[in-house]
Structure 1
Amino acid sequence: MKRYTTTTAVIALLSSLLLSGCKGFLDEYSQDTIVPTTAKDYSEILYGDAYFKEVALPYRYLDLLTDDVVTMVNANSTQGDDQRRTGYGYYTWQDNPELSPTNVLNTDLTWLTLYQHILSANIILDALDDMEGTTEEKAQLEGEAHAIRLFAYFMLTNIYGEPYDPVTASTAVGVPLNYHHYAEDVSFPRATVAEDYAEMEKDIQGADEAFAKVSDERNIFRWNHAAAAVLASRVYLHMQKWDKVIEYADQALSLNGALRDLNTLPEPGSDEAKNFICKDNKEINYSYGFGIIPELSSVHPYYFGPSDDILSSFDKGDLRYDGENGYFISTTKENVGGWLFPKWVTTIKIVKTDMSEITGIYGFAIRSAEAYLNRAEAYAMKGDLSRAMKDLNTLRRARVTPEYAVLETPGTQEEVVRLIWQERRREFCFEQLRWFDLRRQGMPELHHTYITGTDKETGTEEYTLPAKSPKYVIPVPHTVRISDAVLGGGKETK
């Protein structure tokens, strides 16, 4: 069994910084003395190796699995590739979703990437006692490491593990837990979902205690107290621990309860309008990832765009999408036939975010809006319908014109929960949360129509994901299965 020390593992991480463009840090050291000693040194290591900055997220396929997307044709586009190829296996819920229609393997890097983040966090946490730095510097680093590991385990468990159910969690198949702070050539058996979430709870507590020692100077490009609290409320929402959801949502909103009021912004679609996810948006607690997902980009001749189902879900007066323009989705019409024989082509675009050069921020975010909706659902589940609707309407006042914003409190708990779930779908569309919500909301039956051929010779194929299908769990990536005898079976637990 090959084992590497913490120092060797750190040097391996430092080597990755040379490829990831973390400039300046290694300039301070000669090639034979690359040894971090201070909290600042380790902070640069963590930022270079375990943060999604302006990089494509490996799990960019998550929205393709949902009822929010359909295949679309932009016959006017002459640039880019056919995005159906990389999205096909996920959009049609294939047994091996990594395969394209021509059996080309589009490798899913999510597993390897997130476990690298977990290893990086483990290394940092193990080195805390020996590194130099102030109490606050080390606390900030400790909080970030716990938050990074929490986010990684949450994503891994909800992509490759079974959905959390309090009744079955102790036997449901989850993902492996890696406690090592060194690299080792060894297989890790799959934990249960209960064990995975228990580990997440430890990181919630660790992040909370560490960030509490840090002065309130929120940096949206690093994990911070407010962002970790929102994420904690999300984890407890999946666990159905309603009091804990409320506790951490309260904490998040006490640190930052801002909402970007779309009523105060320029008209959606106007030249003055900025992207919703941008540096001016004060509700953003943490910013990460490249904003443009190729499969959802309308510049391509074939892509995946908003479904009629999600488009029709927006209410009258909703500034996120009003049937034509919006801060989340927009419809444009272009004459491609000339003035004599006009031919109008309609293109539906997701306009929530863009490249960081345009927005001043990365493309995805942990936002205070989620804390409001997580808390609203927890209140509703506890039977406190008045407070649930108060949180729901607080968000709607920032998204919908005043005459349509406020909803009356329905008479039943079921109806209040339904309104909150509908609002979640609208608010977080194309932010990669819908698939997780579908899993925890009973795994309903879904239908997709796949467009084949070209714009001159087009056909369709119909696909159905049955209710409670095992395909609500994504297979462990092919490269991991073939190299790991334990994970290759896919059924093992501790």
Structure 2
Amino acid sequence: MKRYTSLVTTTALLATLILSGCKGFLDEYSQDTIVPTSAKDYSEILYGDAYFKEVTLPYRYLDLLTDDVMAYANTKSVQGEDQRRTAFGYFTWQDQPELSPTKVLNSDYTWLTLYQHILTSNIIINQIGEIKGTPEEIARLEGEAHAVRLFAFFMLTNIYGEPYDPATASTAMGVPLNYHHYAEDVSFPRATVAEDYAEMVKDIEGAMTAFAKADNEGTIYRWNAAATAVLASRVYLHMQDWDSVIKYADQALSLNGALHDLNKLPAPGSDDAKIFLGKENREINYSYGFGWIPEFRTVHPFYFNASSDLLSIYSEGDLRYYDKKGYFINANKINVGSFWFPKYEYVMDVVKSGTKEDTHTYGFAIRSAEAYLNRAEAYAMKGDLSRAMKDLNTLRRARITPEHAMLETPATQDEAVRLIREERRREFCFEQLRWFDLRREGMPELHHTYITGNAKEIGTEEYTLPAKSPKYTLPVPQVVRESDAVLGGGKTTK
């Protein structure tokens, strides 16, 4: 079996070959390591180095920051770890969210991981003219590399950069732009938010141009034209470029406009109910990441789960969640008493995803539902309320029983936007979009109650995130600040 090095290692190897001029160098190099030359070789390396597969995502804390989550105590549980330790800093919006209540560092590797993805993509895009393969294979590889880089810059900018505002984007603090296609001991200064989004736009155009030349749509486990078009509509939604949102949502839905109709599935909460993000769900365009976030597992003595505020916005007939049953959130009835004197309580579980063994997909997805809601919001912001509500109701018919699904067109633009954004919150709960939506929707004040103590002595502490707080932008991770002269002091780093 071939064993490919990472692209960073491979690039260093090629540079050594060029500089050494030694014909015998390869004889000393590991005989079972192959230097990539073909589109297939580079495709395998891209998938290995720059795709989230069945791994816990480094930014799994995003939902902990939002109003969709509250703290719970399962005082009868003796399983698992106390999940307060890793969640505390994010759930309570600390200045240094990586620190636990006892000041233990729970390192955030999002920055390093996503910049590794960017470097891998840079190398492939730079090499594209030298790669062997059919035009269709090379085009697909190029499209994937642009899409990987687009996703990485979007996540980095919206976690560590200021929210996009057309009036301030040219001066607002973004994240560094790394154009290098080789490893080098150099530090990159922060770009502006406008510069970051301009880079995303280039990758949108590069990916969509390349995918148009590719052989087919491939698999949901790799970036493709439909998934990239959905992501493009998300990028333009943040930029408030409503015409471009509509353009790319149109493209996405022309490639895959399917919705997973919950009305056609077994009753939510029943033994026959399927996991929503599974192989039967035809609206999935791209599937990635591990589905179970440890902090949300209810078997732990202290954990985090759906907030009462989130649960309250689901109404009668909603098959995602209502009256303790749903395909997104479902109540688990447990005995907190004894065998002889049982006492039952309902514990809410997030059930929309699972392991790949259970679902034949990964736990997170880019799917056509987002294209409908992105386009609906863009239409509403342009004042076309009829088309906005048509898209909104198209989604609702696939999520809510027929007698409750349809909404009338409201009298005002503000009300239409409110309905669409509320639907968005219901639809994408626990898919790591809510924090970004809160940022772009004005950064409202949030409140969290943190549970302290132990099974015998439970206490609470109240925390508030003020409206428009600078804490809506997370600090650069400590491991990066300590090693980068520009971002936090110390020696430079690649």
What does residue 368 of structure 1 align with?
Answer: 368
Q: After the TM superposition, which residues 22-61 of structure 1 pair with which residues of structure 2 at under 5 Å, given as runs?
A: 31=31, 34-61=34-61
Deviation of residue 269 (structure 1)? Answer: 1.1
Change (3 A) 1:207 1:405: same
Q: Match for 2:478: what amino acid?
A: H
Asked whether the equivalents of residues 77 and 300 of structure 1 are also in contact (C-alpha less than 8 Å), the reply is yes
Whole-angstrom CA distance in 1 between matches of 2:369 and 2:13:
35
Q: Match for 1:360: what amino acid?
A: H
Whole-angstrom CA distance in 1 between matches of 2:463 and 2:275:
34
Deviation of residue 386 (structure 1)? Answer: 0.2
Deviates more, 1:319-328 or 1:338-347: 338-347
Deviation of residue 41 (structure 1)? Answer: 0.3
Deviation string 1:238-266 (CA, Å, 9 cap, x unpaired) is: 00000000000000000000000000000
Deviation of residue 46 (structure 1)? Answer: 0.3
Q: After the TM superposition, which residues 88-237 of structure 1 pair with which residues of structure 2 at under 5 Å, given as runs?
A: 88-237=88-237
Please report the TM-score for the alignment, with normalisation by the length of structure 1. 0.93
1:393 maps to 2:393: yes
SS at match of 1:321: coil
Deviation string 1:401-447 (CA, Å, 9 cap, x unpaired) is: 00000000100000000000000000000000000000000000000
What does residue 457 of structure 1 align with?
Answer: 457
Asked whether the equivalents of residues 118 and 149 of structure 2 are also in contact (C-alpha less than 8 Å), the reply is yes
Deviation of residue 35 (structure 1)? Answer: 1.0
Change (3 A) 1:289 1:13: farther
Ranges of 4+ aligned residues in structure 1 off by more than 6 Å: none
Change (3 A) 1:387 1:107: same
Whole-angstrom CA distance in 2 between matches of 1:347 and 1:77:
12
SS at match of 1:199: helix
Whole-angstrom CA distance in 2 between matches of 1:486 and 1:334:
52
Deviation string 1:201-223 (CA, Å, 9 cap, x unpaired) is: 00000000000012333410000
Asked whether the equivalents of residues 9 and 182 of structure 1 are also in contact (C-alpha less than 8 Å), the reply is no
Whole-angstrom CA distance in 2 between matches of 1:199 and 1:98:
29
What does residue 468 of structure 1 align with?
Answer: 468
SS at match of 2:103: coil
Whole-angstrom CA distance in 2 between matches of 1:296 and 1:256:
31
Deviation string 1:137-173 (CA, Å, 9 cap, x unpaired) is: 0000000000000000000000000000000000000
Deviation string 1:178-207 (CA, Å, 9 cap, x unpaired) is: 000000110000000000000000000000
Asked whether the equivalents of residues 171 and 193 of structure 1 are also in contact (C-alpha less than 8 Å), the reply is yes
What does residue 481 of structure 1 align with?
Answer: 481
Deviation of residue 30 (structure 1)? Answer: 5.5
Q: Match for 2:63: what amino acid?
A: D
Whole-angstrom CA distance in 1 between matches of 2:418 and 2:12:
49
Whole-angstrom CA distance in 2 between matches of 1:337 and 1:460:
24
What does residue 431 of structure 1 align with?
Answer: 431
Asked whether the equivalents of residues 11 and 182 of structure 2 are also in contact (C-alpha less than 8 Å), the reply is no
What does residue 246 of structure 2 align with?
Answer: 246
Whole-angstrom CA distance in 2 between matches of 1:409 and 1:315:
18
Asked whether the equivalents of residues 7 and 45 of structure 2 are also in contact (C-alpha less than 8 Å), the reply is no
Deviation of residue 119 (structure 1)? Answer: 0.1
Deviates more, 1:480-489 or 1:129-138: 480-489
SS at match of 2:488: helix
The size of the alignment, in residue pairs, is 471
Asked whether the equivalents of residues 176 and 188 of structure 1 are also in contact (C-alpha less than 8 Å), the reply is yes
Asked whether the equivalents of residues 70 and 306 of structure 1 are also in contact (C-alpha less than 8 Å), the reply is yes
What does residue 19 of structure 1 align with?
Answer: none
SS at match of 2:462: strand
Q: Match for 2:430: what amino acid?
A: F
What does residue 21 of structure 2 align with?
Answer: none
Deviation of residue 348 (structure 1)? Answer: 0.9
What does residue 287 of structure 1 align with?
Answer: 287
Whole-angstrom CA distance in 1 between matches of 2:227 and 2:434:
19
Asked whether the equivalents of residues 217 and 225 of structure 2 are also in contact (C-alpha less than 8 Å), the reply is no
Gaps of 5+ in 1: 1-5, 15-28, 490-494
Asked whether the equivalents of residues 10 and 123 of structure 1 are also in contact (C-alpha less than 8 Å), the reply is no
Deviation of residue 50 (structure 1)? Answer: 0.2
1:260 maps to 2:247: no
Asked whether the equivalents of residues 13 and 45 of structure 1 are also in contact (C-alpha less than 8 Å), the reply is no
Asked whether the equivalents of residues 7 and 123 of structure 2 are also in contact (C-alpha less than 8 Å), the reply is no
What does residue 10 of structure 2 align with?
Answer: 10
What does residue 324 of structure 2 align with?
Answer: 324
SS at match of 1:93: coil
Whole-angstrom CA distance in 1 between matches of 2:217 and 2:485:
46
What does residue 63 of structure 1 align with?
Answer: 63
Change (3 A) 1:380 1:13: farther
1:411 maps to 2:411: yes
What does residue 342 of structure 2 align with?
Answer: 342
Deviation of residue 333 (structure 1)? Answer: 1.6
Whole-angstrom CA distance in 1 between matches of 2:459 and 2:154:
38
Change (3 A) 1:341 1:445: same
Change (3 A) 1:270 1:9: same
Deviation of residue 277 (structure 1)? Answer: 0.4
Whole-angstrom CA distance in 1 between matches of 2:32 and 2:266:
56
Asked whether the equivalents of residues 81 and 300 of structure 1 are also in contact (C-alpha less than 8 Å), the reply is yes
Deviation of residue 337 (structure 1)? Answer: 2.5
Deviates more, 1:76-85 or 1:232-241: 76-85
Whole-angstrom CA distance in 2 between matches of 1:355 and 1:335:
26
Deviation of residue 479 (structure 1)? Answer: 0.5
Deviation string 1:435-464 (CA, Å, 9 cap, x unpaired) is: 000000000000000000112110000000
Q: Match for 1:314: what amino acid?
A: Y
Deviation string 1:258-294 (CA, Å, 9 cap, x unpaired) is: 0000000001111111100001100000000000000
Change (3 A) 1:298 1:409: same
Asked whether the equivalents of residues 73 and 301 of structure 1 are also in contact (C-alpha less than 8 Å), the reply is yes
Asked whether the equivalents of residues 36 and 42 of structure 1 are also in contact (C-alpha less than 8 Å), the reply is yes
Q: Match for 2:318: what amino acid?
A: D
Please report the TM-score for the alignment, with normalisation by the length of structure 2. 0.93
What does residue 384 of structure 1 align with?
Answer: 384
Deviation of residue 12 (structure 1)? Answer: 6.6
Deviation of residue 32 (structure 1)? Answer: 7.0
Q: Match for 1:434: what amino acid?
A: R
Once superposed, what is the RMSD of the aligned Cα atoms? 1.7
